[in-house]
């Protein structure tokens, strides 16, 4: 929905309700990570290898237009900068958090844990607000650092790690959180309007101070619901989408690019276009999964069926 939201005022009034999506992914990554680990190298290997190969493959796919003119050098640049496609940037961010987990865990349990809460807002002020409202353009090297580093998303991994490991161990009042969330949504709309006065392209950004607040409150609501044993929804549809979510995430922008060539697709209103993208991406993932499983079954046939076991 973030990638199919129309431009203009839609960004101001719609994005605040859906901007929590990436924050949720990063929050849950921290929530499901142990702060204590006797085998950090094994942790790195397991976590990074699960995403490294898809990252390389999809960087190559999205880099094809750049490689036509720039060759292998263009692919290498995209691999090192996660610049082939916006979705690949967040895998890059996730890998950074995996590598930094031991240090983040030590900070979370130290007397200086409050410093962790300052990383994202201070980074947003320095890298985004200063350039926009001071009317200056960031040095290209500084801008490159901001575009590849995980600083803006630090709050959510930090919060997830703290709650998941009971470093913060408390119950949150769901009603109060919902009230705070509504107030944060209104604040985000107001800030989006201010941004629109000077930069319409950034008014729906997920990395504004009000967006950080809204998403953080949304994560606390998620945590409160996870702690409520009575709240255990079951949905086979959402489960199926969840089981294929990484594939959907990687291919949905390619699906969108293809749909742009189809007549009349651009006239389909939001959020119907969002549902179409999810549905087609889901079918693509399931189709690929079916082909892989079918291939595995073929290769596992016994020699008596005119197949070799080694094949």
pLDDT tens digits for range 38-84: 999 999 999 999 999 999 999 999 999 889 888 889 999 999 888 89
Residues 145 and 100 placed together within one structural domain of the fold:
yes
Q: Does residue 166 sit within a domain? A: yes
Structure tokens at 187: 């604040």
What does the pLDDT read at residue 63? 93
Instruction: Work out how many domains the chain is built from and give that number.
Output: 2
Terminal C-alpha separation, the chain: 43
Residues 271 and 243 placed together within one structural domain of the fold:
yes
Q: Which residues, in sequence order, are CB contacts of 122 under 8 Å at separation 6+?
A: none
Contacts 24+ apart (CB under 8 A), 129-133: 129/209, 132/195, 132/198, 132/199, 132/202, 133/198
- What mean pLDDT value characterizes the chain? 89
Q: Which residues, in sequence order, are CB contacts of 94 under 8 Å at separation 6+?
A: 25, 26, 29, 51
**118 to each of 36, 114, 143, 147, how far by Cα in Å?**
23, 7, 20, 19
Answer with the one of 207, 232, 257 that is the final residue of a domain.
232
Residues 207 and 247 placed together within one structural domain of the fold:
no
Residues 130 and 205 placed together within one structural domain of the fold:
yes
Residue 200 pLDDT grade (very low, low, confident, very high; cuts 50, 70, 90): low
Residues 131 and 255 placed together within one structural domain of the fold:
no
Residues 178 and 227 placed together within one structural domain of the fold:
yes
Are the beta carbons of 274 and 1 closer than 8 angstroms?
A: yes
Q: Does residue 252 sit within a domain? A: yes
Q: Does residue 4 sit within a domain? A: no
Residues 56 and 159 placed together within one structural domain of the fold:
yes
Residues 101 and 175 placed together within one structural domain of the fold:
yes
Q: Does residue 196 sit within a domain? A: yes
Residues 250 and 206 placed together within one structural domain of the fold:
no
- H or E, element range at 259: helix 245-259
Please say if the pLDDT value at position 202 is more than 90: no
Mean pLDDT of 5-28: 92
Answer with the one of 232, 260, 284 that is the final residue of a domain.
232
Q: Does residue 2 sit within a domain? A: no
| Residue 16 belongs to domain spanning | 9-232
Mean pLDDT of 107-128: 94
Q: What predicted TM-score, i.e. pTM, was given to this entire model?
A: 0.89
**296 to each of 45, 232, 286, 287, 300, how far by Cα in Å?**
25, 35, 15, 14, 6
Of the chain, the percentage scoring pLDDT greater than 70 comes to 95
Structure tokens at 169: 């161990």
Residues 270 and 303 placed together within one structural domain of the fold:
yes
Answer with the one of 205, 232, 259 that is the final residue of a domain.
232
Render pLDDT for 238-277 as a digit per residue (tens, 0 to 9).
899 999 999 999 999 999 999 999 999 999 999 999 999 9
**173 to each of 6, 225, 228, how far by Cα in Å?**
35, 10, 11
Residues 113 and 182 placed together within one structural domain of the fold:
yes
Residues 32 and 171 placed together within one structural domain of the fold:
yes
């Amino acid at each position: 929905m973030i990638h199919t939201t129309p431009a203009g005022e839609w960004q101001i009034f719609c994005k605040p309700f859906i901007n929590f999506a990436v924050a949720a992914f990063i929050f849950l990554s921290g929530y499901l990570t142990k702060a204590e680990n006797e085998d950090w190298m094994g942790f790195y290997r397991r976590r990074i290898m699960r995403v490294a190969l898809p990252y390389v493959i999809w960087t190559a796919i999205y880099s094809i237009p750049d490689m036509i003119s720039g060759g292998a050098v263009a692919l290498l640049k995209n691999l090192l900068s996660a610049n082939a496609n916006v979705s690949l940037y967040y895998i890059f961010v996730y890998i950074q958090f995996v590598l930094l987990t031991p240090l983040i865990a030590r900070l979370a349990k130290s007397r200086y844990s409050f410093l962790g809460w300052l990383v994202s807002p201070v980074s947003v002020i320095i890298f985004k607000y200063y350039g926009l409202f001071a009317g200056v353009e960031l040095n290209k090297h500084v801008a490159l650092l901001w575009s590849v580093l995980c600083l803006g998303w630090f709050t959510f991994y930090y919060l997830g790690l703290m709650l998941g490991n009971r470093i913060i161990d408390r119950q949150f009042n769901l009603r109060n959180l919902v009230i705070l969330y509504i107030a944060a949504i209104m604040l985000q709309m107001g800030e989006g309007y201010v941004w629109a006065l000077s930069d319409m392209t950034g008014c729906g950004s997920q990395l504004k101070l009000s967006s950080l607040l809204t998403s953080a409150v949304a994560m606390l609501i998620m945590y409160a619901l996870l702690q409520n044993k009575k709240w255990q929804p079951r949905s086979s549809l959402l489960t199926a989408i969840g089981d294929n979510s990484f594939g959907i995430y990687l291919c949905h922008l390619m699906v969108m690019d293809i749909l742009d060539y189809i007549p009349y697709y651009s006239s389909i209103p939001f959020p119907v276009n969002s549902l179409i993208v999810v549905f087609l991406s889901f079918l693509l993932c399931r189709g690929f999964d079916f082909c892989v499983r079918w291939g595995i079954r073929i290769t596992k046939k016994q020699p008596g069926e005119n197949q070799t076991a080694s094949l």
